Amino acid sequence: MAPLLEVRDLDFSYGPLQVLFGVNLEVARGEVLALLGTNGAGKSTLLRAISGLGRVDRGSIVFDSDDITHADPGERVRRGVIQMPGGKAVFPDLTVEENLRAAAYTFIWDRPKVAERIKRALEVFPVLGLRMDQAAVTLSGGEQQMLGLASTLLLDPTILLIDELSLGLAPIVVEELLDVVARLRSTGVTIVIVEQSVNVALSVADRAVFMEKGEVRFEGAAAELVERDDLVRAVFLGGEVG
């Protein structure tokens, strides 16, 4: 089968600063791919390029056999390319319910569909059902991440791009979120996860890609990356921003 996502020879710049250099990446349908790397390696930038949040300089992005290199972000969302940004992926001044409704912007006129999708999201994160009238800013860090992830589920992702899922969260909360990732995987959702913790990423990933200075240096089974002390040490010493 053809990969669900193919990135070919991708260059990307912020103004005069080039960040990605000839990046090649394939993601198989239904797999979980961990995207790791040193500080400033370009991991988050690669997710932005796939999501259409920036114009690429060169190369191509093919999703489900269609070239989406120049498709706008809204078109990619409608095709099922959904990103959960790093940090607190919520509107802090809106309530939990308002955040969820805002996430359903592509079909907000379809009230039964909105209600059904919100119901499904709350079945995954029942704690949010108890917080519907609370402002998102009043939630704990873990609950805010749950709300951010629940918001992406409303868009029924085919591929879910997750940036820094566990950043700043207690281990027990991270375990809860990883359980959700595992459940999504079991339903056939393809997932690419940028993660600050090698152990967290590799606990759920089938394969790993290691980036450094805007280039892919390793691609293979997650278990193989663990054996590469030079790369794993670079992640721990270099941090996970970029």
d(CA 165, CA 195): 6
d(CA 179, CA 177): 5
Phi and psi torsions of 35, nearest 5°:
-110, 110
Supply the pLDDT for residue 77.
95
pTM over 0.85: yes
Q: Which of 201, 194, 218 is nearest to 47 (CA)?
A: 194
Supply the pLDDT for residue 174.
86
Residue pLDDT tens, the chain, 242 long: 689 999 999 999 999 999 999 999 999 999 999 998 877 899 999 999 999 998 999 999 999 999 999 999 999 999 999 999 876 689 999 999 999 999 999 899 999 999 999 999 999 999 999 999 999 999 998 899 999 999 999 999 999 999 988 877 888 888 888 888 888 888 889 999 998 777 788 888 999 999 999 999 888 887 777 777 776 666 655 544 34
Q: 5-238 is classed in which CATH architecture?
A: 3-Layer(aba) Sandwich (3.40)
Supply the pLDDT for residue 240.
42
The count of other CB atoms within 10 Å of the CB of residue 223 is: 12
d(CA 230, CA 234): 6
d(CA 176, CA 147): 13
Supply the pLDDT for residue 196.
72
**Backbone CA torsion sign across 221, 226, 229, 233:** positive
